[in-house]
Amino acid sequence: MEVSSSHMNIQFDDTNLRAAMVGEANGLTPEEIRQHSPRALEALKGFQEISEAGAQGFPHLPFQAQVAKDILRFAKEVRGSFDTLCLVGIGGSALGAWALDCGLRGPHPVQPAFSVRNPRLVVLDNVDPAFTAAALDSMNPKKTFTVVIAKSGSTAETVATFLIVRDWMSEKLGRKTRSRIAAVTTAGAGDLHALAEAEGYAEFAIPKNVGGRFSVLSPVGMLPAALIGLDIRGIWKGAAAVTHDSWQPDLKKNLALRAALLHYLVWKLKHKSIQVAFPYSNQLWGSAFWFRQLWAESLGKAKSRQGDEIHVGQTPVAALGATDQHSQVQLYVEGPNDKVFTFWAVERFADSGKIPKAGLNLEAFDYLGGQTLAKLIDAERRSTAAALTEAGRPNCTFTLRKLDPEHLGAFLQLMEFQTAFLGELLGINAFDQEGVELGKKFTYGLMGRKGFESYRDRFQAYEQRRKSAD
Ligand code: PA5
């Protein structure tokens, strides 16, 4: 069945998730879908209550008119004075901005030359010292604007990199440095906020009820987006349209709910513990990486809401079509049947990629002449779906009419709603990340942060166990 969002041109085709296409062992019967549909409506109601109570804020983000005004006013003030936007942040504080940049301007190697009119985005997320040094070498401190993003205000990677960048800027800019930095963090709390206040950086707030991986439509994604010149009103407009659709108690109109239910059923009833997010668009590659975090951190949980130990999670994998047909598809078609494939298609590309007729009298060349790359990539995706289906591998497809700010904003919000609904179907809290927190605390202990001595001791006990295990 193919269903469309009523406000946006996004479709979801779930035909190849059906038993009629991939067999009963791997696909869903109409009876299974019917039987579980009431649970989807309960999940919708459950999440609606959470959202209305203000416990989760991402559905409200596209409607914050004042935030949009503040961001746009600030962007207008500072744009034109930098050719590089340096984003210091990690995880949910970095992936959203990258997804937007890649989605709307393309992957970096093919973006137009950067300039003060078209600043590039350099994301310093990892603490790889060679990468950080090379990135700084490529930037001019006088032409760089830095946005440091951390909801907690204290993530070690972000703080360490920011200290390096701040120092690098101060060496050339001295007291002017403060006017070339903006901080995005939890309003009125944490050490990054304290530093921003002390040094006088512009500050933008992350609402308390919005977690990192759900924050792309807050200043976390939208401030960098506005600073590199993306149409943030368009992004919010698409996201707002999907938000309206996502509250519809109707599985034919509510794509996010339908996709959540079907992914849940194929995972739980047909044992597909891996989801391959498979965009057939280089521009959606950043979004696939953003989605990996959203799905993994939200749905990988040790405990149910009731506190029972359950250890659930579906492993997200990102693959790029058509490229990964020549790398991963052998495994996907013939290897273990433990995956569901979710294609992300674009109907109208910005360019059709006309293939010239060369008249070479060579069979492998001549049939392609006069056709387009758009037709070829579409044929590649549909052929891969057919091959997977013939091999009994369930798959489904989201199709975006085109890649513009509205469609991208809509799609990201759709993925967030889908994730929230799936969390409700699983009976877990999709919004915490205890598993991430422990690693962070061990790092603080190891790096000597005050108050984390017990984690240093716990880490040392682990090292001791490693020694005696040898
Ligand atoms: O989704 C999350 O909450 C995490 O992945 C965070 O985004 C990540 O750990 C970075 O945290 P912070 O923004 O506090 O630096």
Catalytic residue (one of 32, 297, 406, 416) = 297
The correct answer on CATH 3.40.50.10490 for the domain covering 80-228 is: yes
Q: Do domains 2-52+236-426 and 80-228 have the same CATH topology?
A: yes
Q: For the domain with range 2-52+236-426, which CATH number is right: 3.10.310.70, 3.40.50.10490, 3.30.365.10, 3.30.450.20?
A: 3.40.50.10490
CA–centroid distance, residue 213 to ligand 1 (Å): 7
- Which ligand 1 atom sits closest to the C-alpha of 149? 13
Report the nearest-CA residue for atom 15 of ligand 1: 150
Q: According to the model, what pLDDT value does residue 109 have? A: 80
Pocket test for ligand 1, best of 162, 433, 437 (most atoms within 8 A of CB): 433
Torsion, Cα 387 388 390 393, to 10 degrees, reads 180
Q: Within the chain, what is the greatest distance between any pair of CA atoms?
A: 74
pTM beyond 0.85: yes
Q: Which two tokens stand for residue 191?
A: 């050490």
The reported pLDDT for the residue numbered 7 is 65
Q: What is the pLDDT of residue 185?
A: 98
**Pairing state between β 144-150 and 274-279:** unpaired
Residue 32 confidence (pLDDT):
98
**Per-residue confidence (pLDDT) for residue 394, from 0 to 100:** 98
- Residue ranges per structural domain of the chain: 2-52+236-426, 80-228
**Who lines ligand 1 at CB under 6 A?**
90-93, 150-152, 155, 158, 211-213, 297, 433, 436
CB 92 within 8 A of CB 121: no
244 catalytic residue (yes or no): no
Closest CA to 298 of 139, 429, 209: 429
Low-confidence ranges of the chain (pLDDT < 50): none
65 Cα–ligand 1 center, Å:
25
Q: How far apart are CA 165 and CA 163, in angstroms?
A: 6
Q: Kindly name the residue from 311, 326, 450, 467 that is annotated as catalytic.
A: 326
- From the CA of 92, give the closest atom in ligand 1: 7
Cβ–Cβ under 8 Å, residues 272 and 336: no
Q: Which of 124, 151, 206, 291 to mutate to test the pocket of ligand 1 (most atoms within 8 A of CB)?
A: 151
Residue from 56, 87, 126, 152 to probe ligand 1 pocket by mutation (most atoms less than 8 Å from CB): 152
Return the residue whose CA atom lies nearest to atom 12 of ligand 1: 150
